[in-house]
Amino acid sequence: MKKVISTKAAPAAIGPYSQAIDLGNMVFISGQIPVNPATGEIPEGIKAQTAQSISNIKAILAEAGLSINNVVKTTVFLADMSLFGEMNEVYGTEFTEPYPARSAVAVRELPKQVLVEIETIAVK
């Protein structure tokens, strides 16, 4: 049975999708862009944007009763692969071993012209 996870501590969906779906033992979190939910602002630079995206993920995980340690898979979308190193620096401070499986790809464009979007899968 699907259960919608939603929190005001992360940006609201900007389309016909849920922030996250809980399937009982797994939680699928939609891609999080670096919008500050309190202000609607987008920070400057890939490091700050990566940190904000992960903060949004943590807020959704908390709403589901989980933490960043429950994440088993991430997909990182970058506006340009040249941003990978700096994104990876921040990413490495937020996740600990055993690290989640991860894919990282460059895409042509992201919503609101942000530099990064991160989606996750977590297991209870």
pLDDT tens-digit map of 55-84: 999 999 999 999 999 999 999 999 999 999
| Averaged pLDDT score across all residues of the chain | 97
Domain count of the fold of the chain: 1
Q: What CATH number does the domain containing 64 carry?
A: 3.30.1330.40
For residue 98, cis peptide bond before it (omega within 30 degrees of 0): yes
Phi then psi dihedrals of residue 105, to 5 deg: -135, 150
Under 8 Å CB-to-CB from 75, ≥6 apart: which residues? 31, 102, 103, 104, 105, 118, 119, 120
Of 123, 112, 97, residue with least CA distance to 32: 112
pTM: 0.96
Q: Read off the tokens for 35.
A: 């919008």
Is it the case that residue 13 has pLDDT exceeding 90? no
pLDDT tens-digit map of 83-103: 999 999 999 999 999 999 999
The boundaries of the domain holding residue 116 are: 3-123
